[in-house]
Structure 1
Amino acid sequence: MQPVPLYPLVAGYAMGFLPRLGATPHFCMCILIACLIFQIESMIFCFIQKHQGISKTLQKFTMPNTLVGLLITVFALYTFAVVCLYYRNCLAQNENMAYLKKNFPEYISGFQSLPNFTICEADSYFMKVVIFAVTCGIIVFIVFCIILVNIFRMLNILKHKISRSNYRKHRTAIWSLLGQFATSTVCFIPPLLVVFVIIVGMDDSQLIVQLILVVSCLHSSLNGIVLVVTFPPYRKFVLSFLWRGK
């Protein structure tokens, strides 16, 4: 599926396999939001696993299993809450045209030519959903930063207790995860910026939205580049593959 935004409304239509099966753009967006949040939370859990592995080697700083289980539960509840709140926000399919006739009659002909579309009202409820998602996301990011700082602190201690090659493997894995986490921001920051631009109504908003969407499409390429740069086994595989191709 591929969601396509319809500026200047908080609206869009969907293309791909799921819409052909009758899935609405609203349903597709719920799946996409869940996948984006799950991707970030999965990477944070990878850091938690790495933290636990290093702490077991040091035999200290280990997080209790109950705390790890609590974090996983909170992540799952956050994903479920954001998706459910968003699902309740958008208009029902039979209300879309009535909303356009009342608020944006000049766009009716354009929307009628679309195979499907969904509209979300940028009202107070919508703003509360955005604020809730961003606030909880910031809290999760703070937890991630605490875990990351502790990982680097343990690495400094571990450096003097293991061989240089093993230390280099630990460090490479962490920096590779960190690079992939950084590129993951390209997935969820652009949609938030699009919503912000639509609500604020900046000058040249159409161009700004187009540029933001172009940036969001770079995620796969950036992630591949980061893997090649930060993860030697993957870099070796890519170079050997290219060499065989020649």
Structure 2
Amino acid sequence: MSGYCVGFLAKYFDVWSHYLIALLVGMIVAQLESLAYCFVRKHQIIANITKRHLIPKNVNDAITMISPFFPIFGYMAFCNAGMKRENQMGYVRKHHPEYIEQFSSLQNFTIYEGNFWFFLIISLSFFGGIFCGCIYTFTTIDMFQMLRKSRRKISATNFRRHRSTVKSLLAQFAASSLLLIPSFCFSVVIMTGIEQSQGIVHVILAIFSLRSSVNAVVLIATTPPFRKFVMRKTSSNNLVIATVAISMSRNSWS
């Protein structure tokens, strides 16, 4: 497997693509971990109302303390999975001489072999994704059950607020499928080595790149304070445009 980056850091500062890809891996881990933490945090807020399925404070504190180390570990592990930069062209000449001309035209690329660290990252990503998915599923089902049982214990306003937050988290989880599913498909393609894999990877990366935009739209659409803020700004901008248009029209008639 090989890849290259064409962004600002790679082009103007010559930051090696391997480090940029490793940084992306660490950020993916951080995003999934943060989303799982939000689900657990909201679950515990509702659990405090019903007094069931509470996580002991010492366990919660321990998880909170070790959580920042997972993205760091993902970054460091992926850094060890790459080939040294000075050995890459020698590897191409020895194993894939037909691609020497194409690789020579790239100033910033990285090559990966199937070493221990590479397969460790693939395995941890697979099982970590399943684990996070279980957290999302369990906490969501339990939160809706607890909300139904606590409906008489809290005000209608608080009930709607809690339910809205849960729905927003569910929407964020659905949007994160653009992060999980392409990553899973990418791992399958790499591990199986199927034909036409490069074209498949291009499609996967195109879908993967949509995640930030989709997440932002979903967050605004499903979170009432953000949605009201955007609608208020849009309404005020439309009012300004309409006022300017009316003023220009009057001036033209004058």
Structure 1 residues 51, 72: closer, same or farther in 2, change over 3 A?
same
Tell me the residue number matched to 1:3: none
How much has 1:94 moved relative to structure 2? 0.7
Looking at structure 2, the residues matched to 132 and 33 of structure 1 have their Cα atoms a distance apart, in angstroms, of 12
Structure 1 residues 20, 59: closer, same or farther in 2, change over 3 A?
same
How much has 1:50 moved relative to structure 2? 1.3
How much has 1:60 moved relative to structure 2? 3.9
What do the CA deviations read for 1:143-198 (whole angstroms, capped 9, x no partner)? 34333332222211221211222111111011112211221231243234234224
Looking at structure 2, the residues matched to 180 and 156 of structure 1 have their Cα atoms a distance apart, in angstroms, of 22
Structure 1 residues 197, 53: closer, same or farther in 2, change over 3 A?
same
| Comparing 60-69 and 191-200, the one that deviates more | 191-200
Q: Report if aligned partners of 1:47, 1:147 keep a CA contact under 8 Å in 2.
A: yes
| Comparing 99-108 and 191-200, the one that deviates more | 191-200
Q: Report if aligned partners of 2:32, 2:132 keep a CA contact under 8 Å in 1.
A: no
Looking at structure 2, the residues matched to 73 and 11 of structure 1 have their Cα atoms a distance apart, in angstroms, of 34
Looking at structure 1, the residues matched to 216 and 69 of structure 2 have their Cα atoms a distance apart, in angstroms, of 30
Q: Report if aligned partners of 1:100, 1:107 keep a CA contact under 8 Å in 2.
A: yes
1:89-128 maps to which residues of 2 (within 5 A)? 89-123=81-115, 126-128=118-120
Match 1:150 to one of 120, 128, 142: 142
Tell me the residue number matched to 1:181: 173
What do the CA deviations read for 1:205-226 (whole angstroms, capped 9, x no partner)? 3332222122112212322332
Structure 2 counterpart SS, 1:118: strand
Match 2:219 to one of 201, 224, 227: 227
Structure 1 residues 96, 203: closer, same or farther in 2, change over 3 A?
closer
Tell me the residue number matched to 1:137: 129
Q: Does residue 34 of the first structure (1) align with residue 22 of the second (2)? A: no
Q: Does residue 209 of the first structure (1) align with residue 216 of the second (2)? A: no
Runs ≥4 residues deviating over 6 A: none
Q: Which amino acid aligns with 2:201?
A: V
Q: Report if aligned partners of 1:10, 1:195 keep a CA contact under 8 Å in 2.
A: no
| Comparing 124-133 and 97-106, the one that deviates more | 124-133
Q: What is the TM-score when the length of structure 1 is the normalising length?
A: 0.84
Match 1:46 to one of 28, 38, 54: 38
Structure 1 residues 63, 195: closer, same or farther in 2, change over 3 A?
closer
Structure 2 counterpart SS, 1:178: helix
How much has 1:23 moved relative to structure 2? 2.3
Q: Report if aligned partners of 1:176, 1:227 keep a CA contact under 8 Å in 2.
A: yes
- Structure 2 gap segments, 5+ residues each: 239-254
Looking at structure 1, the residues matched to 165 and 64 of structure 2 have their Cα atoms a distance apart, in angstroms, of 22
Q: Report if aligned partners of 1:33, 1:83 keep a CA contact under 8 Å in 2.
A: yes
| Comparing 227-236 and 160-169, the one that deviates more | 227-236
Q: CA RMSD in A?
A: 2.4
How much has 1:14 moved relative to structure 2? 4.5
Structure 1 counterpart SS, 2:107: coil
State the aligned residue count.
238
Structure 1 residues 179, 137: closer, same or farther in 2, change over 3 A?
same
| Comparing 127-136 and 209-218, the one that deviates more | 127-136
| Comparing 235-244 and 30-39, the one that deviates more | 235-244
Q: Report if aligned partners of 1:24, 1:116 keep a CA contact under 8 Å in 2.
A: yes
What do the CA deviations read for 1:62-102 (whole angstroms, capped 9, x no partner)? 21112212333554444343333221111000110011111
| Comparing 90-99 and 174-183, the one that deviates more | 174-183
Structure 2 counterpart SS, 1:61: coil
Looking at structure 2, the residues matched to 140 and 71 of structure 1 have their Cα atoms a distance apart, in angstroms, of 14
How much has 1:38 moved relative to structure 2? 0.6
Structure 1 counterpart SS, 2:176: helix
Q: Which one has a bigger Cα radius of gyration?
A: 2
